[in-house]
Structure 1
């Protein structure tokens, strides 16, 4: 049976908090890399493995959560994962070397993978089928808030404390969520008792770990390692391609696969994963590109940038329950998806037109459009992922959908990094072509800057002229990066526009009263 009253409130609080905590950790480290590198005595390139390790572990474990929950029992698996995540967070904060923190971040990612998919499954089970859109709305609040809150919270903690605090912040939330899970979340009948009858698909697990792990490595490290000029990247790309093809072939052949890919035979879920991939690309890439634009070009701190991003996002978060109630009353999901895609594309297009002299407040309206767009797309997709499935297939559908979202984000950030790099080189080349020695405007500008330096510092003419040239070069760099970021926003908008026509395939057949009754009975039996 669905949960009632206070128990339902606790389940909502626990599952959404756990999901938010996991998603925050996908982005909170980004603003702390410089501080961590200095503290650990390594380069920023080396310490970026802290992000890569978490992402690889996360994306490997997410598609396995359905199988692991069935094998160990959902409550036990959820509880242990929460404890692992919390303890690993503490060990990350206490790490004194790069290798130590990378290992603990990997462990944290393994624990965190269950906090997303299993949280969603537990939350859905707490609601009757007719009220699941409301549950999707509540869970969607966490999906939107988590990645956005990460840079804001991280910026504040770095500014007022030190980098270990970005991990220590998980401890009180994790402890409280663990206690609430143990006390209020009930086991299903016979949960974990049929373990002897469950076949462990070791081959599938190994193929998945190798394929997804190598793919995530390529996406995370490709730009840093200059893509296929790196032998490691080439090897990982080949391993990922071969093992993922073998994984799909093998999982579709065996009776009890670790990941039930057969659920993708449901047309609704298959097309939902396409939209989820693009939405993940847009959500994570916009959270990545906008802060870099605000800090590198506009000169704002990480905390100021995060606050500017957080305020309009909260509007979209508050919209989630409203959209959920509308869907529960029968408003078709496809309408929200179409409007959401258009709004997100509009956000990207408006942001791609901003001037480098604008204040941070000028981003409020575009970011509000982003928040509304993400809310209207995310929520229906969460609900649509399981709309055509039997209750027994919910864990597999949810896990696959969440994995696709994470891969979309990884692909988007990798694409943005590469695209920005290429566009920056092109724009800088174009700008430098217009700056030639001896040109009247260049000479006039250089002389004016040099005279200003001499009057302020008393430097000699050679030093002042050299400094003036460096300042002009820095201005060219800033303009080139500014133009490349705007190009990237246009590229993201293009993805949303291209996928828009596929929304027609998200229509689902309305269930009859008899089918609704059968679905409720199936849900009751699954508890």
Structure 2
């Protein structure tokens, strides 16, 4: 436990490290189009710049508790900052897409380690009675990072080059490493002779990696009609099945799945997965929708996310104090999922004529909803665990949030592509010569082009192209609306799960009263 100036220097350092790690989960979202053009790659392939980072996060997060003990937490933390910073520099120097994807993976390894280790350090910096405040402060990074990423990324893309998205991490990372070296307490390596669970690490990396490839590439390559998708599905199924069996059998697992015997932790993990899915998917889909359909610049798109983020940042510290004072986290979680569902429902009702003012209220709901979920879900997840199991429970919960984000981006991308195909078929069925609205639109286009000097045949060709552009734009509008509606439904479906934990708690209290009265 620290006090005074040293305490707040540590807090600032930890929050800064958390923010830059999470900024990098979304900072590239608004620059995918630019990267795709500059690197000569397809949009689908360029999406690997996002997902390789997320995969690395998911792989490393559950290992952080074990590795921090083995290496020494201070050493592991500083090493992770340095790896993140060096990989950021190499991302900026990359000359090909797959070189960039590889360095993004190493950046994710360093960044993912920061997330859980930062939380542990922050909790130790505050006394037990102020842990709620510590949770609130930590949540600032989780909320601000993904939301400010598109703003910063948009500004950089509009005014500099996409490489500066990565260069900006270098001075921040270097300063964080120096302050951590000076102010963090030295920690010793674990002196026990626990063997490293190499098999668990291998199975986790291969299983999660294969599953991510399947989700990312399945739609593009027509799923199981591609041989490599079938092979990867078999490998993922075998690896993840064996992983669960092995981690429950081995004495020193890299992921202690035994803590999932806590029903509350298991239910919280499911809800945290949905939180991650919605948190990262929304920040992925909204910039695409705003830029492709409405025509906003990258910076304008990012700026629209700011009010909700600022609102979330304002209320987060108070949420920790409310939990510390005895408020049950379930009540805040229900409100959080409700607000997140409202965001999805409101967004699914927008159209081609929607102005930026319309998005203000839905994005406020999104930001406040995220704040109401992050801190209470963490508190609920570890509420029934023994003190010795809390670090592993927190790591699992963090892993589920990052996995939800990683899988969420891949799945929502696939869902949008699937809905685009279905929506196009539905729209084209109405675009016929016998349809009066189509004929009226075509004639209007033809008259317009002829008025600008085209002959009839040329005007007819241009009118057909204009009609096709309208169909494409309307198709993707409907697909993005479908995606927002899916996010709304997923969040709404979590509310009954929260009610289950309330009933379970009441049942446990009733049982304990019976036992006491019997004695």
- What's the TM-score, normalizing by structure 2? 0.93
Closer/same/farther in 2, CA of residues 10 and 390 from structure 1, 3 Å limit: farther
- Give the whole-Å Cα distance in 2 for the aligned partners of 1:509 and 1:432: 54
* Match status 1:227 vs 2:223: yes
**Paired residues for 1:171-190 under 5 Å:** 171-188=170-187
- Give the whole-Å Cα distance in 2 for the aligned partners of 1:101 and 1:424: 29
Question: The residue matched to 1:223 in structure 2 has which SS?
Answer: coil
* Match status 1:410 vs 2:410: no
Counterpart pick for 1:460 among 455, 460, 468: 455
Counterpart pick for 2:189 among 192, 206, 215: 192
Closer/same/farther in 2, CA of residues 47 and 413 from structure 1, 3 Å limit: closer
In the alignment, is the contact (CA less than 8 A) between 1:277 and 1:405 conserved in 2?
A: yes
Counterpart pick for 1:401 among 373, 397, 403: 397
**Paired residues for 1:420-439 under 5 Å:** 420-439=416-435
Closer/same/farther in 2, CA of residues 429 and 41 from structure 1, 3 Å limit: closer
When the two structures are aligned, how many residues end up with a matched partner?
A: 507
Q: CA deviation at 1:193?
A: 4.7
Deviates more, 1:364-373 or 1:48-57: 48-57
Question: The residue matched to 2:41 in structure 1 has which SS?
Answer: coil
Q: CA RMSD of the aligned region, Å?
A: 2.0
- Give the whole-Å Cα distance in 2 for the aligned partners of 1:92 and 1:251: 34
Question: The residue matched to 2:185 in structure 1 has which SS?
Answer: coil
Q: CA deviation at 1:443?
A: 2.7
Deviates more, 1:174-183 or 1:436-445: 436-445
Closer/same/farther in 2, CA of residues 386 and 125 from structure 1, 3 Å limit: farther
Q: CA deviation at 1:402?
A: 1.2
**Paired residues for 1:97-496 under 5 Å:** 97-188=96-187, 191-194=188-191, 197-456=193-452, 458-496=453-491
- Give the whole-Å Cα distance in 1 for the aligned partners of 2:46 and 2:478: 28
In the alignment, is the contact (CA less than 8 A) between 1:65 and 1:395 conserved in 2?
A: no
- Give the whole-Å Cα distance in 2 for the aligned partners of 1:8 and 1:54: 31
Closer/same/farther in 2, CA of residues 237 and 336 from structure 1, 3 Å limit: same
Q: What residue in structure 1 maps to residue 512 of structure 2?
A: none
Q: CA deviation at 1:142?
A: 1.1
Q: What residue in structure 2 maps to residue 48 of structure 1?
A: 47
- Give the whole-Å Cα distance in 2 for the aligned partners of 1:265 and 1:93: 44
Q: What residue in structure 2 maps to residue 96 of structure 1?
A: 95
- Give the whole-Å Cα distance in 2 for the aligned partners of 1:4 and 1:67: 28
Closer/same/farther in 2, CA of residues 96 and 427 from structure 1, 3 Å limit: closer
In the alignment, is the contact (CA less than 8 A) between 2:29 and 2:287 conserved in 1?
A: no
Q: What residue in structure 1 maps to residue 81 of structure 2?
A: 82
In the alignment, is the contact (CA less than 8 A) between 1:14 and 1:181 conserved in 2?
A: yes
Structure 1: which 5+ residue stretches go unaligned?
Answer: 511-527
Question: The residue matched to 1:197 in structure 2 has which SS?
Answer: coil
Question: The residue matched to 2:176 in structure 1 has which SS?
Answer: helix
In the alignment, is the contact (CA less than 8 A) between 2:91 and 2:100 conserved in 1?
A: yes
Question: The residue matched to 2:382 in structure 1 has which SS?
Answer: helix
Q: What residue in structure 2 maps to residue 9 of structure 1?
A: 8
Q: CA deviation at 1:505?
A: 4.2
In the alignment, is the contact (CA less than 8 A) between 2:51 and 2:406 conserved in 1?
A: no
Closer/same/farther in 2, CA of residues 55 and 10 from structure 1, 3 Å limit: same
Deviates more, 1:410-419 or 1:159-168: 410-419
- Give the whole-Å Cα distance in 2 for the aligned partners of 1:226 and 1:304: 35
Q: CA deviation at 1:212?
A: 1.6
For residues 444-496 of structure 1, what are the alpha-carbon distances to aligned partners after superposition, in whole Å with 9 as ceiling and x for unaligned? 3212212212323x222211111111111111121122122222222211112
- Give the whole-Å Cα distance in 2 for the aligned partners of 1:133 and 1:505: 24
Question: The residue matched to 1:256 in structure 2 has which SS?
Answer: coil
Closer/same/farther in 2, CA of residues 131 and 116 from structure 1, 3 Å limit: same
Closer/same/farther in 2, CA of residues 6 and 267 from structure 1, 3 Å limit: farther
For residues 182-207 of structure 1, what are the alpha-carbon distances to aligned partners after superposition, in whole Å with 9 as ceiling and x for unaligned? 1111134xx2051x622111111111
In the alignment, is the contact (CA less than 8 A) between 1:279 and 1:408 conserved in 2?
A: yes
Q: CA deviation at 1:438?
A: 4.7
- Give the whole-Å Cα distance in 2 for the aligned partners of 1:347 and 1:411: 21
In the alignment, is the contact (CA less than 8 A) between 2:338 and 2:491 conserved in 1?
A: yes
For residues 372-429 of structure 1, what are the alpha-carbon distances to aligned partners after superposition, in whole Å with 9 as ceiling and x for unaligned? 1111111101222333333332331122111111111223223322222222222222
Q: CA deviation at 1:509?
A: 6.8
Deviates more, 1:75-84 or 1:295-304: 295-304
Q: CA deviation at 1:321?
A: 0.6
- Give the whole-Å Cα distance in 1 for the aligned partners of 2:440 and 2:482: 31
**Paired residues for 1:499-510 under 5 Å:** 499-507=494-502
- Give the whole-Å Cα distance in 2 for the aligned partners of 1:106 and 1:415: 20
Question: The residue matched to 1:39 in structure 2 has which SS?
Answer: helix
- Give the whole-Å Cα distance in 1 for the aligned partners of 2:279 and 2:490: 12
Structure 2: which 5+ residue stretches go unaligned?
Answer: 507-519
Closer/same/farther in 2, CA of residues 97 and 306 from structure 1, 3 Å limit: same
- Give the whole-Å Cα distance in 1 for the aligned partners of 2:304 and 2:82: 33
For residues 347-385 of structure 1, what are the alpha-carbon distances to aligned partners after superposition, in whole Å with 9 as ceiling and x for unaligned? 111111123212111110111111111111111012223
